Amino acid sequence: MASKVRLFVDHPLAEGQTVPLEAAQAHYLSGVMRLPMGSVISVFDGRSGEFDATLAQANKRGGSLEIGAKTKAFMPPPDLWLCFAPIKKARTDFIVEKAAEMGASRIVPVLTAFTNSERVRTDRLQAHAIEAAEQCGGTYVPQVAEPVKLAKLLDGWPEGRRLMFCDEALVGESGALPDAPGPWAVLIGPEGGFSDTERSRLRRLDHAHPVSLGPRILRADTAAVAALTLWQMRLGDWQ
């Protein structure tokens, strides 16, 4: 029987392969989880599905896995980006983790006029996305992009991608997303909200759809989860 341990490996997977383990992964399996050699775990690479894998070697310098049968097909998420203004460290971590669990395909930290946070470490956030995918049973890991200023993001916005703009100025108002499948993005502002200039520009965009997230102003991390839930229920793979 396969172990409950799931591990992401950044290496193309196929039955019969031997794939290397990084030192930290080998330590996690043998030192933290205390798995003996020959233990079977589940592995995925973010593009090929999930496989059984036998722990063949593990030491302080690394290790290796023998890849067995495929156990789950690759399940790509909807073509949905989460664009959010970074906030305090732990709450930014929370947003990234929940975005990975809830099916975002790309995560974009956005610097707005009122963004007030510590320096964003993309490598650390990417590690959180990987851990979330390992825990939730997903076979895909969303890319965490480098932080970008909101104006620059909008200047280079890809044609055909709609934008769900969560506007705290609409608190209490009704409104629904259009029934328009295809590429989308969700935009969440900082704790101080969007500036008047940012809000005006967003409202002028043909592809932007301002929405309210209910009768109360939500914290930024709560807003991210609420917005992703609304989108998934309306247009995503939760239907």
Residue 98 has pLDDT above 80, yes or no: yes
pLDDT for 174 equals 64
pLDDT for 232 equals 95
pLDDT for 89 equals 87
Query: What digits encode the pLDDT tens for the residues 163-218?
Result: 999 988 887 676 678 889 999 999 999 988 899 999 999 999 999 999 998 888 89
pLDDT for 30 equals 93
What are the CA-CA distances from residue 17 to residues 6, 14, 48, 51, 57 (Å)?
A: 18, 6, 13, 11, 14
In the sheet with 18-21, reading across from the earlier edge strand, the strands are 6-8, 40-44, 50-59, 62-72, 18-21
pLDDT for 175 equals 64
Catalogue all structural domains in the chain, each as residue range(s) with its CATH number. 6-72 (2.40.240.20), 80-235 (3.40.1280.10)
At 41 the three-state DSSP class reads strand
Of 81, 78, 95, 236, nearest to 157 by C-alpha is 81
Confidence class of residue 58 from pLDDT cuts 50, 70 and 90? very high
Q: Give percent above pLDDT 70 in the chain.
A: 97
Q: Is there a contact between 128 and 96 (Cβ–Cβ < 8 Å)? A: yes
Q: How far apart are the first and last CA of the chain?
A: 32
Dihedral Cα 144, 146, 152, 154, nearest 10 deg: 0
Confidence class of residue 3 from pLDDT cuts 50, 70 and 90? low
Confidence class of residue 101 from pLDDT cuts 50, 70 and 90? very high
Unique residue bearing structure tokens 């947003």: 95
pLDDT for 1 equals 45
Query: Which residues have a Cβ under 8 Å from the Cβ of 47 and sit 6 or more positions away?
Result: 12, 74, 140
- pTM, full prediction: 0.92
Torsion sign across C-alpha atoms 35, 39, 44, 50: negative
Residue 117 has pLDDT above 80, yes or no: no
Confidence class of residue 69 from pLDDT cuts 50, 70 and 90? very high
pLDDT for 100 equals 97
Confidence class of residue 2 from pLDDT cuts 50, 70 and 90? very low
Of 13, 93, 108, 25, nearest to 53 by C-alpha is 13
Rg (CA), the chain: 20
Which of 1-5, 34-38, 87-91, 207-211 is the least confident region?
1-5
Note the Cα 49 to chain centre separation in Å.
Answer: 17
